[in-house]
Amino acid sequence: MNHRVCLKVNGEARDVEVEPRLLLCHLLRDELGLTGANIGCDTSQCGSCTVLMDGKAVKSCTLLAVQADGCDVTTIEGLAGENGLHPIQQAFWDNHGLQCGFCTPGMILTAVEILDRNPCASDAEVRHGLEGNLCRCTGYENIVKSIVAAGARESA
């Protein structure tokens, strides 16, 4: 009954047996111990569970683990390189882009995609780009500020 899934997670090859109905977010959290992707809803609204799959920001609660077969997945735990924080992580820290931190991994990984598309994204473009991510603490002000600042740094 179980399916075999081979994928790369944060650069490491993983080979797992999963129930066909297992969601990717549960594979990451429960089987692989990567709890950075948080689960904030049941209906794909909140974006807390966002990860990068083959470079694209996806909500890991909307995918079955089996759909990640052969894919390259990056979670928040794997975003920073060897030498410290990713520039977007740093920008969130510098600009008070988080309060409780629950939405933060999803926000940061979504920001990676927003800035990949357009490193000079404006305030309004960032707000639009975050339409699939909810934050209840910050009022988004400093999240937007963090992302715009990270973009400005990247493109400088």
Partner 1 sequence: MGRYVGHSVKRREDPRFIQGKGRYVANLELHGMAHVAVKRSPYPHARVVGVDSSAAAAMDGVIAVFTGRDFADGGCGALPCGWLVPDTKVPERPVVVTDRVMHVGDSVAVVVAEDPYTASDAVEAIEVEYESLPSVVDARGTTDADAPQLHDGIEGNVSYYWKLGDSEACKQAFAEADETVELELVNQRLIPTAMEPRAAAASWDAASEEMTVWTTSQNPHPIRLLLSAFTLGIPESKLRVISPDVGGGFGSKIFHYPEEVIVPWVARQIGRPAKWVATRTESQMTDSHGRDHVTVARLAMKSDGTFTGLDVETWANQGAYLSTFAPLIPTALYITLLAGNYRTKGVFGRVHGTLTNTVPVDAYRGAGRPEAAYLVERLVDLAADRLGRDPLDLRKQNAIRKEEFPYQTPVAFLYDSGDYDRLMSTAAANADYDGMRRAQEEAREEGRLRGVGVVCCIEASGPAPSAVAGSLGSAVGFWESGEVRVHPTGQISVFTGSHTHGQGHETTLAQVVADELGVPLESVEVVHGDTGRINFGMGTYGSRSACVGGSALVRSAEKVRAKVVKIGAHLLEAAEEDVVYDRDAGRVHVKGSPDRAKAFGEIAFAAYTAHNLPEGVEPGLDFVSFYDPENFTFPASSHICEVEVCPETWQVRILRYVAVDDVGKVINPMIVEGQIQGGVVQGVGQALTETAGYAEDGSFLTGTMLEYAVPRADLLPGIEVDRIETPSPHNPLGVKGAGEMGTIAATPAVANAVLDALRPLGVKHVELPLTPERIWRAVRDAQSAAA
Exactly one of 2, 54, 96, 100 binds ligand FES (CB under 6 A); which one? 100
Q: Which does 61 bind (CB under 5 to 8 A by kind): ligand FES, partner 1, none?
A: ligand FES
One-letter amino acid for residue 26 of the chain:
H
Q: Which does 24 bind (CB under 5 to 8 A by kind): partner 1, ligand FES, none?
A: none
Alpha-carbon gap, residue 136 to 133, rounded angstroms: 10
Q: Report the b/e string of 74-97 with b at 16+ CB within 10 A.
A: bbbbbbeeeeeebbbbbbbeebeb
Tokens at 58, concatenated: 């996806």
Exactly one of 20, 55, 70, 101 binds ligand FES (CB under 6 A); which one? 101
In this chain, which stretch among 1-9, 65-73, 74-82, 148-156 interacts with partner 1, using CB under 8 A?
A: 74-82
Does residue 152 bind partner 1 (CB under 8 A)?
A: no
3-state secondary structure (DSSP) of residue 139:
coil
Closest distance to ligand FES from the beta carbon of 60 (Å): 7
- 20 exposure class (CB count in 10 Å sphere: 0-12, 13-18, 19+): exposed
Exactly one of 64, 98, 115, 121 binds partner 1 (CB under 8 A); which one? 98
What does the radius of gyration of the chain's CA atoms come to, in whole angstroms? 15
Exactly one of 137, 152, 153, 154 binds ligand FES (CB under 6 A); which one? 137
Q: Which does 96 bind (CB under 5 to 8 A by kind): ligand FES, partner 1, none?
A: partner 1
Phi, psi of 150 (to 5 degrees): -65, -40
- Positions touching ligand FES (CB under 6 A) are 39-41, 44-49, 59, 61, 98-104, 135-138
